[in-house]
Amino acid sequence: MCPRLLLVTVIFSGLRSSELRGLSWEDVDLDKGELHVRRRADRYKKIGRPKSEAGDRTIPIGPVVVNTLREHRLSCPKSELDLVFPNTAARIWDHADIVTRFLHPTVVRAGVVDANGNAKYTGLHPYRHFYASWLINRKADGGLELPIKTVQQRLGHSSMVMTSDTYGHLFPRTDDGREMADAGRRLMAVK
């Protein structure tokens, strides 16, 4: 498996590790640019339902992910479970194997290391956080500036409270003095 493929998919879909490992080709709609999260692979490599009812969802993916998956599909080894990311034996990856064989070496090569030269991020979850930040951040800052309800649905959280408790600090403040002053000037300029 190509580390780039894995990272592009995780970064721009926000899938949990279990959802990524259980993703099947029947849940990928490259024409519509969507991933359907309908199952996951648990720590024992058993396929089951997402961890909550809200986890069953559709995630839009952009052209970068679509093209990366299209290219991957041509060379993807066939597996009994029709997995998008099968291991070398055409079975479900162990989470630790993905992290140690692909993620850590890629992160170290990119220079994202701690004081000891080890990978700074030890799992896939920081990339899910990146995705959430991208959904939330203002357009002026390179984000999508989506409403909290949309972010909740894309992440598969069971409630907006969970999303807010985890990522509330990222949503733009409504009491920003500079923005309020700009808005006031624009309002007063209207004839």
In whole angstroms, what is the distance from residue 7 CA to residue 148 CA? 24
C-alpha torsion 27→71→121→14, nearest 10 = -30
Beta strands across the sheet bearing 34-37: 28-29, 34-37, 57-60
Long-range contacts of 152-156 (CB under 8 A, 24+ apart): 152/54, 153/54, 153/57, 154/14, 154/57, 154/59, 155/14, 155/128, 155/131, 156/16, 156/19, 156/37, 156/50, 156/51, 156/52, 156/54, 156/55, 156/56, 156/57
Note the pTM of the prediction, 2 decimals. Answer: 0.84
Q: What type of residue is 178?
A: R
pLDDT of residue 1: 64
pLDDT of residue 107: 87
Strand-pair category, 57-60 with 34-37: antiparallel
- What the chain holds in terms of domains, given with CATH numbers, is 3-170 (1.10.443.10)
C-alpha torsion 50→123→70→87, nearest 10 = -80
pLDDT of residue 73: 93
DSSP 8-22: HHHHTT---HHHHHH
pLDDT of residue 61: 97
pLDDT of residue 129: 92
Helix, coil or strand: residue 3: helix
In whole angstroms, what is the distance from residue 100 CA to residue 139 CA? 34
Mean pLDDT by 10 residues, the chain (191 residues): 83 95 96 97 94 92 96 89 92 92 88 92 89 92 92 94 87 68 74 55
DSSP 27-85: GEETTTTEEEE--EE-TTS-EE--SSGGGSEEEE--HHHHHHHHHHHHHPPP-TT-BSS
